[in-house]
Amino acid sequence: MADAKGQPFSVRFAKRTDAFMDAEAKRQKRSKSSLVEELAEESAKVRRFPGIAFRGEGPYREPWIVGSGLDVWELCEILEHYDGSAERVTDDYDGVDERACRLALAYRREYPQEIAEAIAENNRTAEEWLALYPFVEFAG
């Protein structure tokens, strides 16, 4: 379920920022308003969770742990496979320390559905992938 919208307000950007927002909204084929909302939400998450950044394109942007190369959902899934042992994960994965593990778990506590959906998508069966993309061939 999408978050309920708050009260509208107006904002005036500097000309350079406004030109960028216009061009980016056009490139992504979406409204400037939805783009501004996405950027504001992303910025708030980055400030609340120092050490997390976002990468990817448009609606497929993913939070990742800076310095680890891992998306937040990937580290959360790894921790699940290691029974939550940050110590074992840090022993086996370069660039992952206990702080990164705590950060990923804190993000998941705040955004559980986002992380659960990413993990579920990654764990689709071959049949599910073929239903979505009939042209895909799996290495055997």
Which pLDDT tens digit goes with each residue over 20-43? 999 999 999 999 999 999 999 999
Residue 74's contacts (CB-CB under 8 Å, 6 or more residues apart) are: 122
Residue 65 domain-assigned (yes or no): yes
Q: Do residue 22 and residue 58 come from a single domain?
A: no
Domain extent at residue 79: 51-125
Q: Give yes or no: residues 70 and 29 share one domain.
A: no
91 plus 68 within the same structural domain: yes
Based on the fold, state whether residues 26 and 71 are members of the same structural domain: no
- Given a contact cutoff of 8 angstroms between Cβ atoms, the answer to whether 89 and 78 are in contact is yes
Look at the chain and report how many structural domains it folds into: 2
Interacting residues of 41 by C-beta distance below 8 A, sequence separation 6+: none
Q: With 0-12 CB in 10 A as exposed, 13-18 as middle and 19+ as buried, what is 105?
A: middle
**Do 98 and 72 belong together in one domain?**
yes
Give Cα 26 distance to the centre of its chain: 22
E strand or H helix at 39: helix 32-48
* Same-domain check for residues 27 and 70: no
Closest CA to 65 of 11, 105, 16, 124: 105
Q: Is position 130 within any domain? A: no
* Residue 48 tokens, joined: 């609340």
pLDDT by residue (tens digit) across 38-82?
999 999 999 999 999 999 987 789 999 999 999 999 999 999 999
- Do 58 and 41 belong to one domain? no
